[in-house]
Structure 1
Amino acid sequence: MYDILIVGGGTAGLTAAIYARRAGKTVLALEGTAFGGQIASSPLVENYPALPAVSGLDYTNALLGQAKALGAKVKFGRVTAAEQTGEGFKLTAGKREYEGKALILATGASHRRLGLPNEEALTGRGVSYCATCDGAFFKDKDTAVVGGGDSALQSAIFLSNICRRVTLIHRRDTFRAQDAYVKAVGERENVELALNSQVTALHGESALTGVSVTGRDGSVRELAVAGLFVEVGQIPDNGPFAALAELDEGGYFRAGEDCLTRTPGVFAAGDCRSKTLRQLTTAAADGSVAATAACAWLDGTAQEK
């Protein structure tokens, strides 16, 4: 029986483990794929405070090492079921079961891919899923953004301040984004729209050199770009926990900045939580808030919401 069970070994989960251990709680963090989350595969992280140039892998290893050095237990295991018990909560991962008095859900979210050949190989080498993270690498270069929602248009606006030219590619003829974003994109002289179009091929070996854009009429246009930012949504993996924490229409946990869910003793942190900005800094903030709240709940000092 652990004091706190943590599902997820990314920035939010490992930060929560660090804070919980410093508060003297026993902690187990379970991770189903790779500790560190998506950032582990990033060749360079430049927007984390006090770490202006670090590889995603080095950042991940340092974070994991810090949690383990403080005494947090970490195990590989994909959690497939979670339930509330008389003493707390029970998680099922493979053939193993783990019990804890409090539960922090830091399951993260994965970026929806385009599903194109060479996409995985070019990720981090021109193909990106975060303009805020990687846009600075493409200063004064030509780039493209794929998508038609708020995130896609926000990325196009952000990149227009950095890049020489931005092509916004959307499979429909109208955007799903807020009118304010649509208007702002229309006012940017270096943003070109490619509507009723889809990216159908990625070019380049060691780095992205261009993309093929196919229109609804079957016409194909070759676009020379150094960067392609894919903003076609994210996929949270929160289904196994729906009985404990309410999900919004996108499948994210409904929890505010206090990280509290509808179930006492269950907290949500990081990209899996319904929020407006998903970055390493916000994940770390969530992890610290969730762990502090969990400790207060265990100690009986939590204030009523």
Structure 2
Amino acid sequence: MKDVIIIGSGPGGMTAALYASRSDLSVLVIERGAPGGQLMNTADVENYPGVGLVTGPDLAMSMYENSSNFGAEHAYGNVISIEDHGAVKKVICDDATYEAKAVIIASGSDHRKIGIPGEEEYSGRGVSYCAVCDGAFFKDRHLVVIGGGDSAVEEGLYLTQFASRVTIVHRRDELRAQKILQERAFKNEKIDFQWNKVPVAIEGDDVKVQSVQLKDTQTGEVENFLADGVFIYIGLDPLTEFAKDLSITNEEGWIQTNNHMETRLPGIYAIGDVRDTVLRQIATAVGDGSIAGQEVYKYITSLED
């Protein structure tokens, strides 16, 4: 029996572990991969206060080491469900079951799939959702980036250090990314744009990607656009399937909380990218984690009164 179980080890989860363990609570962090969450898929971080320019994996490792300073333990596992038994919460994984007085859900989100022909077939063979992971495999190749937000533009810029050309495909006629990112993209000689276009199929030779079928959103015309790889950044989906029976999510799967990071169930909290919130950044996840780490201490103390 632990005081608190934290599901997920991204920036929010690691911060919650730091705050909770520093309050002398027994903490178990359950993670399904390397600590860091989306940080592990981020090339450069330049908007985290006090750090300056740093790679995502380097920042993740620093946070991980700091989060363990006060005794937080870590276990690997894939969480299947959570059972709320009042003063006891059960976290059921595919190979073990853990118990705690409180649970903090910091499971984050995953890149949204388009759902077009060829996307799944060529995943890992030219279709990717992680420029940091796969960019180096496309040296001197022509790449397509799908999306118009911060992630699409940031990762498109990152890919230019490998690719001969990067084409950003966006369904509108202007980007949604921050202005500073747009300016960098427009100035980069390796980046061009396909405006008012959406992908409708990804095609290849059964071994690797060769082209993308792009549909004009205004005329309906479809063209075959040659490309060696497709990187997709069209949004995020919450990783909350294990919490569906708790009735703490909205229709899209995001977990709803108050300003104390509390869900509607006492002793169950949610933080970071998994929350129904207006901004999903490292800084906001860290803020959420610090609040939850303090609030869970208050909650557990109240159980002992």
TM-score of Structure 1 vs Structure 2, range by shorter chain = 0.7 to 0.9
Name the structure 2 match of 1:164.
Answer: 186
Name the structure 2 match of 1:194.
Answer: 196
Using the TM superposition, give the Cα deviation of residue 29 of structure 1 relative to its aligned residue in structure 2, in angstroms. 0.6
- Aligned 1:59-78 pairs, distance under 5 A: 59-78=59-78
* CA distance in 2 between partners of 1:77 and 1:193 (Å): 42
Name the structure 1 match of 2:112.
Answer: 112
Name the structure 2 match of 1:299.
Answer: 301
Question: Can you list the C-alpha shifts for 1:148-172, whole angstroms capped at 9, x where unaligned?
Answer: 7xxx952386744443289xxxxxx
Name the structure 2 match of 1:58.
Answer: 58
Using the TM superposition, give the Cα deviation of residue 191 of structure 1 relative to its aligned residue in structure 2, in angstroms. 7.9
Closer, same or farther: CA 265–292 of 1 in aligned 2, 3 Å? same
Instruction: Work out whether residues 45 and 56 of structure 2, in 8 Å CA contact, stay in contact via their aligned partners in 1.
Output: yes
Question: Can you list the C-alpha shifts for 1:191-227, whole angstroms capped at 9, x where unaligned?
Answer: 863235547379xxxxxxx974523544224589xx9
Name the structure 2 match of 1:131.
Answer: 150
Instruction: Work out whether residues 245 and 261 of structure 1, in 8 Å CA contact, stay in contact via their aligned partners in 2.
Output: no
Name the structure 1 match of 2:255.
Answer: 253
Using the TM superposition, give the Cα deviation of residue 44 of structure 1 relative to its aligned residue in structure 2, in angstroms. 2.3
Instruction: Work out whether residues 129 and 231 of structure 2, in 8 Å CA contact, stay in contact via their aligned partners in 1.
Output: no
Name the structure 1 match of 2:265.
Answer: 263
Closer, same or farther: CA 8–275 of 1 in aligned 2, 3 Å? same
Using the TM superposition, give the Cα deviation of residue 242 of structure 1 relative to its aligned residue in structure 2, in angstroms. 2.5
Sequence identity (%): 27
Closer, same or farther: CA 198–252 of 1 in aligned 2, 3 Å? same
* CA distance in 2 between partners of 1:19 and 1:194 (Å): 46
- Aligned 1:202-281 pairs, distance under 5 A: 212=212, 214-215=214-215, 217-221=221-225, 230-281=232-283
Note the aligned Cα RMSD (angstroms): 3.6
Question: Can you list the C-alpha shifts for 1:229-250, whole angstroms capped at 9, x where unaligned?
Answer: 7442322121221333511121
Instruction: Work out whether residues 171 and 197 of structure 2, in 8 Å CA contact, stay in contact via their aligned partners in 1.
Output: no
* CA distance in 1 between partners of 2:86 and 2:261 (Å): 23
Name the structure 2 match of 1:172.
Answer: none
Aligned partner letter, 2:251: E
Closer, same or farther: CA 194–160 of 1 in aligned 2, 3 Å? same
Partner SS for 1:257: coil
- Aligned 1:135-154 pairs, distance under 5 A: 135=154, 138=157, 144-146=168-170, 154=176
Name the structure 2 match of 1:97.
Answer: 97
Closer, same or farther: CA 211–137 of 1 in aligned 2, 3 Å? same
- Structure 1: runs of 5 or more not aligned: 167-189, 203-209
* Count of matched residue positions in the alignment of Structure 1 and Structure 2: 266
* CA distance in 1 between partners of 2:183 and 2:288 (Å): 29
Partner SS for 1:220: strand
Partner SS for 1:18: helix
Higher mean C-alpha displacement, 289-298 vs 262-271 = 289-298
